[in-house]
Each structure stands twice: as C-alpha cells, then as structure tokens.
Amino acid sequence: MTIIKAKDILRNYLREKGLRNTRQREVIFDAFFSADKHITVEGLFNFIKRKNPGIGYATVHRNLTLLCQSGLADEIKIGTNKTRYEPKFGREHHDHLICIKCGRFIEVTDGKIERLQDKLAEANEFIPVRHKLEIYGICRDCK
Amino acid sequence: MTIIKAKDILRNYLREKGLRNTRQREVIFDAFFSADKHITVEGLFNFIKRKNPGIGYATVHRNLTLLCQSGLADEIKIGTNKTRYEPKFGREHHDHLICIKCGRFIEVTDGKIERLQDKLAEANEFIPVRHKLEIYGICRDCK
DNA sequence: GTTACTGTTGATAACTGTTATCATTATCTG
DNA sequence: CAGATAATGATAACAGTTATCAACAGTAAC
Ligand SMILES: [Mn+2]
Ligand SMILES: [Mn+2]
Ligand SMILES: [Zn+2]
Ligand SMILES: [Zn+2]
C-alpha cells in the first residue's frame, strides 16, 4: 500500500534527521492522508480534533511543514488565502483549475504547456526551477 | 502621452463614482506611474514619503486599490509575500518569470500557451476567467 | 527499568501584511 | 461662503503564520 510506503519514507526521514516519531506525528500523518486534498492547517486541525481533542494547532502546522520537507506533501498558495497542503507521494506534478464560485480544485496536466513553458524560459535565458499555473473560472457544476 | 490619458481615465472614474480628486490621489497616481513596476504598498509609500512626508500608509493602500478598480492597475500576488501592483493602462496581459535569487520579474507572453490553456479548460468543461502563470528560476544575470 | 539527553508539544505571544475605525480635514456643489 | 460628505492619517483590529518556553516524552545507554 502506498500509504504504508509513505510512512516508511517519513520514518526514514525522521531517523536520518535525528527526529522523533511521536504519537502526534502518527495521528497527523494518518489524518493528512485520509482527509480531503488541498486542506488547510485549520481544516486538518479540526479534522483531527474530533478524535484527538488534545492536539495543538501549532503541532499540526509544524508537522505539515515537516511533511513538506520530507517530500511527502506540497504547499499550495492560492491568492492571499490560507496555505493549503496536498499529499505528494507517488503523484506527478500537476496544475489547478480553480472554481471561483465553489472553490473546487481540478487537477490537470498538459505536457505541451509544460514544454512550451520550458521553451519560453529558455528564450529568456532563464533556468526554470518550478512553476505555478492556476486557471480561475467556473466549473461544470457551477455553470 | 499615455500617462495623461491614464489620468483622464482616473478623473472620469472618480466623477462617475462621485469620488473626489484629492491632492494625495494626484501624488499617488504620479508616483505609481513613475516608480518601478511591481511595487508594493510599502515601496510606493516610502517612495512618496521622500517628497511628501505627510502621506499616510493607509491612503497609499486605499488608492492603489482604487487604481485597480478603475482598471489602471493590477494586483500581483506572488507566494505569500506582499501584494504588488503594476500599471495596466495600455498594456496587454502577460505572465512572469521570477528570479529566485534576485527577485527580478521578467514579463512574458506566449500566445500558444494561452490557447492551450483555453483548450485545457474546455476539456474539463471549465470556463476560464483569468489565469496566473509564474515560472520561478534563475535569471540570466544570476546564473 | 532507570537515567540523561534533548526533541516535541500545546498554549499563547509576537509578527506581518492588510483592512477597519473614527475624529478631523478637504473637496465639491450650489 | 456654506453644507454635505468623501478622504485622510493615525492607529486599532484582524488573520494567518511563526516563535517562545515550560512541561513532557521519545530514544539510547546503562
Ligand atoms: Mn492538487
Ligand atoms: Mn508585470
Ligand atoms: Zn464550482
Ligand atoms: Zn536574478
């Protein structure tokens, strides 16, 4: 199972960094991979609090940051809103269509666009490292 | 001159909205169009303060918002940093290459990418309204 | 299991950028 | 000029994020 492999990756990361595998980390990890994608710190915090009322907001935040550092999660910053996080393990790069009515995120990939982006960068003597493409509009359900 | 036309647009906008043409608005307007592009509220505030020490931060902020509403400026939100503003009058849509070393913004347009974005949206039964493409990397001068 | 070391937690304060509040001032219209 | 009211500037409030710190807990050595 991919989630078990992901847990191994986290455990290895903790070991090689001299970090500890706490009860809270396990809880946050499991919750993150079972909750909705593109979740906020607040969202995950509330999700966890239902079964773990003692959890601290800062702990959730810190461990989402840790998951990003270990390569298991990605930060998504849309506009000026709260930072969102999505599982990354075993998933390819993708971009997002974002519905301005319901807030839904649709994940998309387009190899042609990716290649043209690289050409565009090259034409400007620019070495691309990462990119962000967000298309805002109205989703099928909101038309 | 394009900046004079822009001033007319602002004056018309103020008139039709029942707003007033204050001394500060003139100062902020002139400063905005003569300062660097992609400037922050703080940047413009400091720029103006040199010759107009009495100017208020909130006034600069409010008037940048007003310029956006009148169609003369655009907001740019990059990552989690401060909002930036750029003059819009007489300029086409463009995207940005952003140097992660020096922070430089390179303005780019690519019609092919734009069209593929529309196709991508259509393929997802999504009506695109606006989009944001940011490519982060190393600029020529920072290689 | 006990101990010692030190990373982690949870509560909360501090911080940052943005926006609201409000008394005072300035603009505009008649 | 006078009256109505929009705008300003100082500052408070706000939201999201991050730092602080005393109490706690994971880990490894004994
Ligand atoms: Mn996604
Ligand atoms: Mn630009
Ligand atoms: Zn929708
Ligand atoms: Zn550079």
Distance CA A126, CA B140 (A): 6
- pLDDT reported for residue A54: 95
pLDDT digits 0-9 by tens, B14-44? 999 999 999 999 999 999 999 999 999 999 9
- Taken in order B107, B110, B116, B122, the sign of the CA dihedral is positive
Which CATH homologous superfamily contains domain B95-137? Ferric-uptake regulator, C-terminal dimerisarion domain (3.30.1490.190)
CA dist B91 and B88 (Å) reads: 5
Closest nucleotide to B56, Cα to C1': D9
> Containing H/E element for B31?
helix B23-34
Scan for tokens 């822009």, then name that residue: B6
> Residue A108 has which token pair?
């998309």
Q: If 0-12 CB within 10 Å is exposed, 13-18 middle and 19+ buried, where does residue A98 land?
A: buried
For CATH 3.30.1490.190, the residue range(s) in chain A are 95-137
Interface of B with A (CB under 8 A): 77, 79-80, 83, 97, 99-100, 106, 108, 110, 112-113, 116-117, 120-121, 124-140, 143
Residue B54 has which token pair? Answer: 């009495």
Chain A: residues touching B (Cβ < 8 Å): 77, 79-80, 83, 97, 99-100, 106, 108, 110, 112-113, 116-117, 120-121, 124-140, 143
| Chain segment A124-139, per-residue pLDDT in tens | 999 999 999 999 999 9
Q: Do B140 and A121 touch (CB under 8 A)?
A: no
Residue-wise pLDDT for A44-84, tens only, equals 999 999 999 999 999 999 999 999 999 999 999 987 789 99
Which one of A68, A135, A139 would you mutate to disrupt binding with B, by most B Cβ within 10 Å of its Cβ?
A135
Please write the tens of the pLDDT for every residue from B48-77: 999 999 999 999 999 999 999 999 999 999
Which residues make up the CATH 1.10.10.10 domain(s) of chain A?
A: 2-87
pLDDT of residue A36: 92
pLDDT band at residue A1 under the 50/70/90 scheme? low
Is the confidence at residue B129, as pLDDT, over 70?
Answer: yes
Give CA angle at A4 (A35, A83), nearest 5°.
Answer: 35
pLDDT of residue A25: 97
The pLDDT value given to residue B92: 86
Pick the CATH number of B2-87 from 1.25.50.10, 3.30.1330.60, 3.30.499.10, 1.10.10.10: 1.10.10.10
**In Å, what is the separation between the CA of A122 and the C1' of D18?**
37
Is residue A11 scored above 90 in pLDDT?
A: yes
Reduced DSSP (H G I as helix, E B as strand, rest coil) percent helix, strand, coil of chain A, to 5: 45, 20, 30
Question: What span, in angstroms and rounded, lies between the C-alpha atoms of B34 and B37?
Answer: 9
Instruction: State the Cα–Cα distance between residues A45 and A59, nearest whole angstrom.
Output: 9
Nearest-CB residue to A126 (from B120, B129, B138): B138
